[in-house]
Every structure is written in C-alpha cells, then in structure tokens.
Amino acid sequence: MKKNKFTLIKLFLWLVICQLPGVLSAPFVYPNLDWYRQLIKPPFIPPEGIFGPVWALLYVSLGLSAFFAFREKFHARPLALFAGQLVLNVCWTPVFFGAHSLLGALLLLLAMLGEMTGLFKAFWRTDRRAAYLLLPYSAWLVFATYLTIGVWWLN
C-alpha cells in the first residue's frame, strides 16, 4: 500500500511540475493579446482559445512521460534534457509575447526541437512509454515552429 501511495505522489508531483511552464508563462500572454491580434498569421493557425487547453494537455503528457522515465530512478542525462526542455518552454512565451521577438522565439523553438531529439532518444533507452508520451508534444513543437516561421516571415 505504501508503494502505491508513493507512486501516486510521484505521479502527482510530475504532473504539477510540468504545468509550471504554462503557469509561469501566462502573465506574458494576456497583456500582449492586442499586439498578437495585429500580427499577420499563416494559414492553419488555430483559434486563440485552442492554445491554452492544448498546452494543458501537452503538459499532462510531459508529466506522464517524466513519471515513466523516472519511476524507478533518476538518470542524469535524461533528467538534464527534460529540465532543459521545460526551461526552454518557459522562455518561449516571454520572448514571443513579452519581448515581441519573433526571431528569438523561432530560435528558441529550433533549440527545443533539437533538444527534444536528444530527450526522445534518452527516454527511449529509459522507458519506451515515456518516449511515446513525448510524441504529442513533439508534434505540437513542429506545428508551433511552422506557425512561428509564418508569423516571423509575414511580419
């Protein structure tokens, strides 16, 4: 019983930790929505109201991924890569919305994609379920890169 309780606590902590990028980034979005709405956007951009729920679900996927990857023990390289991905994720919104730096946001996304490749490989070696749970986030990063390239190019 103690092991199950401890496992649930670890799962809960990973889910909370992975929601932090969204919580920390949100204050940069709302004051800059007028600026964002004036940007020329590429085709296939989702409605504004989609981004928050999608990111919340992606953060859950990341939390589950981390839970499986680090369920038995922490591995230094995967943990460093995972932490790096969260830090890059936290930085994107202040750069895009806060600093209005479209090129800076694009460069951050490219770094996130490169870093995600290493993270996926590391998680694949640690726990394949963890690697598979990175796929929705990775796909969204690719889509976000397309959107950011489009916004940067058009503006």
Q: What is the pLDDT of residues 109-142, one digit of tens each?
A: 999 999 999 999 999 999 999 999 999 999 999 9
Q: What is the pLDDT of residue 6?
A: 81
Average pLDDT, whole number, for the chain? 95
Q: 119-154 in b/e burial notation, b at 16+ Cβ within 10 A?
A: bbebbeebbeebbbbbebbbebbeebbebbebbbee
pLDDT greater than 90 at residue 145: yes
Residues 6 or more apart whose CB falls under 8 angstroms from that of 72 comprise none
Q: Within a 13 Å sphere around the CA of 116, how many CA atoms are in the beta-carbon half?
A: 22
Tokens of 28: 């940069």
Average pLDDT score over residue span 48-71: 95
- pTM attached to this predicted model: 0.92
Please, where are the H alpha helices in the chain?
2-29, 33-38, 48-69, 76-93, 102-126, 128-133, 135-154
Predicted confidence band at 1 (pLDDT cuts at 50, 70, 90)? low
Q: 93-106 in b/e burial notation, b at 16+ Cβ within 10 A?
A: bbbbbeeeebebbb
